Structure formats: C-alpha cells, structure tokens
Amino acid sequence: MGGKDRGDGRVQEIAVNIMKIKILCENSVKHVSGSDPRKDCLGEHGLSVFVRDGKVGVLYDTGHTDVYWRNAGIMGVDLEAETDFVVLSHYHWDHTGGLQHHGFAGKKKLVLHPEIFKKLPLEETQKIRSDFEIIESTGALEFSDGMFFLGEIPRVSFEKGSYKADPMLDDSAMAVKTANGAVVIAGCSHSGICNICEYAKKVTGQKLFAVVGGFHLSSSDTEAVEKTIEYFKNEKVPHIYPMHCVDFSAMVRFYEALKAQKLSVGDEIEFVI
C-alpha cells in the first residue's frame, strides 16, 4: 500500500501493484550467505524467469533441464499454483528443453510462435501439445492485461536479426506496460535486442523503462555491442539487465557505459505497474 495526501492532512491509502521478476535459470548463480536457501540453487546454460504482476504469473522460458523447477521451489515460487501462462521466446534447446521436465498437473496456457513446432524434435512437440493448452501467434498478442507476446519482430535497425542461416522468425519477447514505461523481457534476441525494443515501444505505446534478458552479444562483434550501447543511451533506458548470452567482455562494456547490472539465478527485481 502507498499513501496519498487527501488535502485535509489525512493520508488516503492507495493500492500499489508491483511486478516481480525472479531469475529461475541462468548461466550463473547469485552469491549469497550460507544461511540463505538460494545457496542451493543451480545454474545451467539457459534462461528461465518467473514474472508476476499482481494478477497473473508467467513462466518465461524453461532452460533445458528441470533446474528451473528445482530453483523455483528453493526461491519460494510454487509454479503449479502460481503459473497462469507459459511463454516461449524461441525454439532453442536452452530455452524450451525444460518443458520436457515440467511438473504441472493441469494444462497451462502456452504462448508461442507456431514455427517453434516446425523446429523442435517431433517427440518434444508431441509432449508439449499433449501437456499444454497451446496459443499460437505470429503477431503481437496481449495475452493478459498489459502483458504482450510480441510475435514476429520487424527488422528495422542495424542488427542482422538472424542466427547462422536461420532468419529466426520465431524469436520473440515479452513486453509489460508499467506506470513508468515498458519492461521488455527477452530470451536470446536473435531478432536483435534493438529491433525488439523498437517493436515493444510500438506495441505498448510506451517508452522503455527496463530491458531484461539475453541480448546475444559478444566481444567478437564489437560494432554491434557499441551500437547497442549507443541505442540504449539515446533511449535513456534507466534499467538494463543483460545476461545469459552476453559474454564477459560485452558485459563489462555494458557496465562501463550504462552501469548495467548482471542478474543470475536467485536474483529478483521489482517494478511498480
């Protein structure tokens, strides 16, 4: 709850909705003290985050084993009880593989780009279709109030927007409207993190407030790293959290230029929505 002066000296209590983002799976694990239960969390190459906006819970990506499920329990997240939607960023094993190890008793709603099913092994696709209520979308979809699956990302920036020979039409992201602007949650950003952010602004009608997730940048492409940093500077994004597929040298540049924070398994961030 928050307080608002009514003008007569008394304070009227008003509800403040908080969006929480918890990192369930990432390449590294947050360093904590020995008494903190998060000391038992595991890391793996992959990404999974849990997003709760006060109304619904969203499991975004799943890593590639049951690590996300195990870590959720340690971090106090009951995925069975709290998950209303599962959202996939793209088809790669380190983001979708965990679906083969989920513990959901009932069919959760799963939002994804339909091309994912053309790329996953048949047995994985069959299990996913059997276990979940599938919501396929190639376009932007507001699947819950103020929460968007962005669908196919228009390529409008300097970024290639592809991975090897794959145009990665299935590579998408989430955007959430908040009181201070859009919060973008990306998986690997094969479609380009700047492309994703530009489309998120268009879809939400808001400026950027925070960008969280994998940016798929490395020191082997210095030009892309520097142009991305320049983009975020120009956009004046106050909160930037690159992780997972951003190598150490690129992460250092993001910190030097933007004071960007690296998140790991066990970390939690909050925004007023």
CATH code of 33's domain: 3.60.15.10
pLDDT (tens digit per residue) in 96-141: 999 999 999 999 999 999 999 999 999 999 999 999 999 999 999 9
Distance between CA atoms of residues 34 and 48, nearest Å:
24
**Is 120 a member of any domain?**
yes
Angle at 124 between CA 121 and CA 126, to 5 degrees: 110
Q: Are 157 and 149 in contact (CB under 8 A)?
A: no
pLDDT of residue 1: 43
- For 256, the token pair is 């030097």
**Residue 218 dihedral angles phi and psi, to the nearest 5°:** -145, 165
Structural domain contains residue 3: no
Give a yes or no: residue 148 inside a domain.
Answer: yes
The number of domains in the chain is 1
Does residue 202 form part of some domain? yes
- The structure tokens listed for 174 are 């989430």
pLDDT computed for residue 56 by the predictor = 97
Give pLDDT tens digits for 228-241: 999 999 999 999 99
Domain interval for residue 262: 14-272
Amino acid at 256: E
Q: What is the pLDDT of residues 21-76, one digit of tens each?
A: 999 999 999 999 989 999 999 999 999 999 999 889 999 999 999 999 999 999 99
Q: Which residue has the tokens 């209590």?
A: 13
Q: How much is the pLDDT for 78? A: 98
Task: Quote the Cα angle for 79-84-85, to 5°.
Answer: 100
- Residue 6 is predicted with a pLDDT of 47
Q: Which of 2-11, 30-39, 88-97, 135-144 has the lowest mean pLDDT?
A: 2-11
Give yes or no for residue 11 having a pLDDT over 80: no
| 184: in domain | yes
- How high does pLDDT run on average in the chain? 95
In a domain, 124, yes or no: yes
> What does pTM read for this prediction?
0.94
Residue in 144, 140, 222, 150 with CA at minimum distance from that of residue 189: 150
In a domain? residue 9: no
**2 in a structural domain:** no
pLDDT greater than 60 at residue 271:
yes
How high is the pLDDT of residue 267?
Answer: 98
- Confidence category of residue 93, pLDDT binned at 50, 70, 90: very high
